[in-house]
Amino acid sequence: MSSPVPHRDVRTRRIRFSYPEGSLQRHCVDGDLVMSHVIAVLSATFPPGEDFFVRSVRNFRDRVTDPELNRQVGGFIGQEVTHGREHRELNRRLQEMGYPTHRIARFVKWALSDAEKRMPRMLCLAYTAALEHYTATIAEALLRKPEAQRLLGDTEVRSILLWHALEESEHKAVAFDVYRAAGGTERMRIWGFRIMSFGLLGLVVIATALSMMLTDRSTYNPIRLVRSLAAIRHSPFLERDVIRHLRAYTRKGFHPDDIDSTDLLERWTVELFGPEGKLADHLG
């Protein structure tokens, strides 16, 4: 018999972001060529990805007997639906600025739909838990590292990514716990992570390169391109602690709560949504 799921505050926030005309720079990540395209690619993947996560978890909700986990599943679904909605609007703005976000989203939607047709539902849930580990690890690096936050400048892109990061950390264990409650094995969990690591990294690299080459004339400025590529080595998202946290998923017996984010969540909940919170005025 599995142990009870601990209480976690996984709430659905009614929130809206807006992008007035001219408020976004072409290269919105600190003027950096490559990272701006990486963020655009990731944003494009979020709406179809969030839809896939919700379907994968819903497929096994009837096996969730723990009332606390069932409550968290409701919060998880609400958060993911809201993430998808808000990133669709951001992606529309990025598309207007020349990023091929709609094309990338269509490809990801097709790829995930094809996986659902061909793969067992339990494997799709294993993929979801693995990808949730990726998003939570990157999210917590953003929330933890001031140098990562500085890359985002002071635009609405910064706001949406900080909000998204907070909620990814809040619900990071939900899909994982549903997978365990549904009887998923350690072997499938670990192999699901390895397969998704290959697919996710391949998608980001290839889509970023194509986005840059086909839509951005700045790519053909060799000095700017070389500087941007060189800066990747020093990215706060590729530091050893981030890689170590990602790799921890392949350890037998791993659980997302092994990486304690309690203090981080408390601090950023107040900073974003407290009485003087930076995003309190975004709540409906």
Q: Return the pLDDT at 144.
A: 97
For the chain, how many structural domains are there in total? 1
| Mean predicted confidence (pLDDT) in 151-163 | 91
- Check residue 236 and give its pLDDT: 94
Residue 143 lies in a domain: yes
pLDDT at 2: 60
Interval 175-229: pLDDT, tens: 999 999 999 999 999 999 999 999 999 999 999 999 999 999 999 999 999 999 9
Collect contacts of 235-241 with beta carbons under 8 A, ≥24 apart.
235/35, 236/141, 236/145, 236/147, 236/148, 236/151, 237/138, 237/141, 237/142, 237/148, 239/141, 239/145, 241/141
CA distances from 84 to 4, 71, 79, 80, 279 (A): 30, 20, 9, 6, 18
264 in any annotated domain: no
Quick check: is 270 in a domain?
no
Within a domain: 23: no
Whether 225 maps to a domain, the answer reads yes
Q: Is residue 245 in some structural domain?
A: yes
Query: pTM, whole model, 2 decimals?
Result: 0.94
Percent with pLDDT over 90 in the chain = 91
Confidence of residue 1 (pLDDT cuts 50, 70, 90): very low
Indicate whether 27 belongs to any domain.
no
Q: Which domain holds residue 238?
A: 33-256
User: Is residue 16 situated within a structural domain?
Assistant: no
